[in-house]
């Protein structure tokens, strides 16, 4: 596996692959890799000849009170995992390679989709995500890119960006990779204490409870959200939101919506955990 640090190096290697008729897959990450990331790599390998994984902690998607400086940088360990996973190239650029003119004056912003769920309390976050992903797409020029469904809103925003800007990239959503007890794998899980780790799966359990309630006929979504949030708070979670949303627009769902996502974000001790479940209702179920 090659470890490259500059835009010029990546473009030259991808050009050589293209000349050889190879299909290029891409998995953007911020490093501190775990099995969840590797599941994205495996999905990318299923659809491509060569896989590129970027490792870049993007400053523009962190808010002023968020953990940019504390975000773990584990490049050597990350590269060892990627090498074992059969990745052809890791791209780990310095900040000045991605933001060569310093502060950006050009941004990619998907209106509305970034205003709900996590975006409601993190102004500018998704603008930072879409801007850096568009830069990475321009550098790597992949045929396909894989994103995890755990970050449901991010996946929706990226898909909209690609569709509306006519980017020639197939976006693949990979199923959330979970621990045996149901907790979604995340780099931030390492910040949980042993006691908090035993409670963390309750987030997914509450979302499954919501799915069962909706499938059984529950349509007062605001009341359902309040019950679940209160229950999570009773278990020690500091709840940012529990929302039943339209899975396409991400606006709070109404009784006539058939494609739903139940999404939640909550702090448990130090880390902020996110998770979701989707629900598809038949027209006769309304």
**What are the distances in angstroms from CA 271 to CA 44, 148, 235, 282?**
28, 19, 15, 37
- pLDDT computed for residue 12 by the predictor: 98
- Give the dihedral sign, CA 71/76/79/81: negative
Integer Cα distance of 2 and 83 in angstroms: 9
Q: Which pLDDT score is estimated for 116?
A: 86
Q: Per residue in 35-82, pLDDT tens?
A: 999 999 999 999 999 999 999 999 999 877 777 887 889 999 999 999
Domain 2-174 carries which CATH code? 3.40.50.620
CATH number listed for the domain at residues 187-279? 3.30.1300.10
Helix pair 7-19, 125-140: axis angle to 10 deg? 50
Q: What is the pLDDT of residues 224-276, one digit of tens each?
A: 999 999 999 999 999 999 999 999 999 999 999 999 999 999 999 999 999 99
- Segments making up each domain of the chain, as ranges: 2-174, 187-279
Question: Kindly report the CA angle at 105 between 99 and 108, in degrees rounded to 5?
Answer: 85
What DSSP line would sit under 87-100, residue for residue?
-SEEE---HHHHST
**What confidence tens digit (pLDDT) does each residue in 117-141 have?**
998 878 888 999 999 999 999 999 9
User: Binding residue per annotation — 190?
Assistant: no
| Selection from 170, 182, 174 nearest residue 148 by Cα | 174
User: Is 31 among the annotated ligand-binding positions?
Assistant: yes
The C-alpha atoms of residue 144 and residue 11 are separated, in whole angstroms, by: 16
Q: Is 206 a catalytic residue?
A: no
- Annotated ligand binding at 188? The verdict is yes
pTM across the whole model: 0.92
- Catalytic residue among 5, 37, 47, 125, which? 37
User: What pLDDT was estimated at residue 284?
Assistant: 62
Which residue in 63, 113, 81 sits closest to 249, CA to CA? 113
CA distances from 11 to 48, 86, 100, 118, 142 (A): 17, 20, 16, 33, 11
- Fold matches, 2-174 and 187-279: no
- 33 marked as part of a ligand binding site: yes
Q: What is the pLDDT of residue 71?
A: 82
d(CA 233, CA 235) in angstroms, rounded, equals: 5
């Amino acid at each position: 596996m090659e470890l490259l640090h500059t835009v010029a190096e990546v473009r030259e290697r991808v050009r050589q692959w293209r000349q050889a008729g190879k299909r290029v897959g891409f998995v953007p990450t911020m490093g501190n890799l775990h099995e969840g990331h590797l599941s994205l790599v495996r999905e990318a390998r299923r659809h491509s000849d060569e896989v590129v994984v970027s490792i870049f902690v993007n400053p523009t998607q962190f808010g002023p009170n968020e953990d940019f400086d504390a975000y773990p940088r584990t490049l050597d360990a990350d590269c060892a995992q990627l090498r074992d996973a059969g990745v052809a190239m890791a791209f780990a650029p310095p900040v000045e390679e991605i933001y060569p003119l310093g502060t950006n004056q050009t941004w990619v912003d998907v209106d509305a989709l970034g205003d709900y769920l996590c975006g409601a309390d993190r102004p500018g976050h998704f603008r930072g995500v879409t801007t850096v992903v568009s830069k990475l797409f321009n550098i790597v020029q992949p045929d396909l890119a894989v994103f995890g469904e755990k970050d449901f809103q991010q996946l929706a925003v990226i898909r909209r960006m690609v569709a509306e800007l006519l980017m020639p990239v197939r976006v693949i959503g990979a199923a959330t990779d979970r621990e045996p007890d149901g907790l979604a794998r995340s780099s931030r899980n390492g910040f949980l204490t042993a006691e908090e780790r035993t409670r963390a799966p309750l987030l997914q359990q509450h979302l499954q409870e919501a799915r069962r309630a909706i499938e059984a006929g529950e349509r007062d979504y605001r009341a359902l959200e309040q019950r679940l949030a209160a229950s999570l708070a009773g278990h020690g979670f500091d709840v940012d939101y529990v929302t039943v949303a339209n899975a396409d627009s991400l606006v709070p769902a109404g009784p006539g919506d058939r494609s739903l996502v139940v999404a939640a974000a909550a702090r448990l001790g130090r880390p902020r955990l996110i998770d979701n479940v989707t629900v598809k209702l038949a027209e006769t179920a309304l």
